[in-house]
Amino acid sequence: MDAVYPVSSAVSSRVYLFDALRGFAVLMILFANIFAFAYPLELGDKAGLSDTMTQWSQLQHQLYLTFIRGKFICLLTLLFGASLFLLWQQAGSLRLKPRMLALMLLGFCHAVFVWSGDILLIYSLVASGLLWQRALQWPMAQQLSRAKTYLAAGLMLPLLIWLVAESDPKMQADTETLIALYTGPYMVQLWQQIQYIALIAVDTLLVSYWWFGGMMLLAFWALQSDWPCLLKRYFYPLLLLAVACAVLPLAWTGFSVQQQVPSPFQMISDLCFALVYIRLFILMLPRLPKVMELLRRCGRCSLSLYLWQSISMVALFRWFCPDWFGTVNRDTLTAIAAAAVMLQLLWVWLLYQPGQLWWCERIYRQLGAALEKKATTAEIHRSD
């Protein structure tokens, strides 16, 4: 799976594409996460925003909302669902359950001890729920029908919150308190992150399970369909819907950086743009073989790159340069993210070897194997 795949092999070329897409997404996601690393997560998308920003900074923020924020999370979710389906075809559900438990443990430790904005824990919870529902064994028509239902359910709570919630910007005193907390003693940070994980659990139950689960179900269905042709056929409708959901709501929210596009519209735009990016990536694949090979290598060690991003950024903003936390402007943060991405690309280019498992992938694989062995032993004892 680590060699450059021949185009004649449909399965191998598909895996090659997914690896390259995963590498691209995990690198680009830093441009969205950098604001959550450098500011308290509680501030959300308003981190570092004010109406006193320059016009260039405000334009940059609107472009960020339109083309980056949320798009690569959706792309990674679709790829996670595709990987889940391919692993199920190879090994069945019995091997998937220990792997999801291993990812859950890894994500929980990462969320508690490093950064509570972790996505691995949510992915593992959603995937475990779908495995419990036997969603991989559903007929294609049922998978597509449930995908639509889950996506609609995932939009309902954000829609209700948008309809009833009043504008309640964070007070400056609250912001300063959060900044002092996240740059203070580690045990205080740890307690805050544990509390934040409790909020993540509620969000997973009410929103994320349905929204992310719907995207994973969509990936299950797509892999059994002629998905490249579907993306080609619906490319322009998807692009139009993505831009419309991102831009048209600004007619009533205004272009002020303090006013965000309503969450349901943003979420629909995120998913549509993720599908558009997949189509564009397919078009670019044969034109940039060396770039795609480098991105494929990044995809093969994407777990290590993702965790490296969070560990290094948390260490930078909370420990080595705490004066930067909550104070660095968004232009500078974008530059820091670009430098980190270039460093990761250089790292992979110089150090990655075909067939190699990097540190985090090795830990995940060993933990999954240990849990699988334990589950197999328990199953043998039960049968005896």
For residue 43, is pLDDT > 50? yes
Residue 52's pLDDT band (cuts 50, 70, 90): low
Dihedral of CA atoms 373, 376, 382, 384 in degrees, nearest 10, equals -100
How does pLDDT run across 338-362, given as a tens digit for each residue? 999 999 999 999 988 877 777 888 8
**DSSP strand E in the chain: where?**
none
Report in angstroms the alpha-carbon separations of 234 from 16, 189, 230, 276, 298: 23, 46, 6, 9, 29
**Confidence (pLDDT) at 150:** 97
Please state which of the ranges 104-108, 282-286, 303-307, 332-336 shows the lowest mean pLDDT.
282-286
Res. 6: pLDDT tops 50:
no
Mean pLDDT over 323-335 rounds to 90
Q: What is the pLDDT of residues 132-164, one digit of tens each?
A: 999 999 999 999 999 999 999 999 988 787 666
Place of tokens 């002629």: 226
Name the percent of the chain lying above pLDDT 90.
57
Residue 14, pLDDT score: 76
What is the residue extent of each domain of the chain? 10-383
* Higher per-residue confidence, 43 vs 215: 215
| pLDDT digits 0-9 by tens, 81-91 | 999 999 998 87
Q: Which amino acid is at 353?
A: Q
Assess whether pLDDT exceeds 50 at residue 101.
yes
Could you tell me which residue, 115 or 61, shows the higher pLDDT? 115
Q: What pLDDT digit, counting tens, does each position of 198-219 carry?
A: 888 898 999 999 999 999 999 9
171 pLDDT tier (thresholds 50, 70, 90): very low
pLDDT value at residue 91: 78
What is the chain's mean pLDDT, rounded? 86
Say which residue, 259 or 226, is predicted with more confidence.
226
Single pTM value for the model? 0.91
Residue 163 is predicted with a pLDDT of: 67
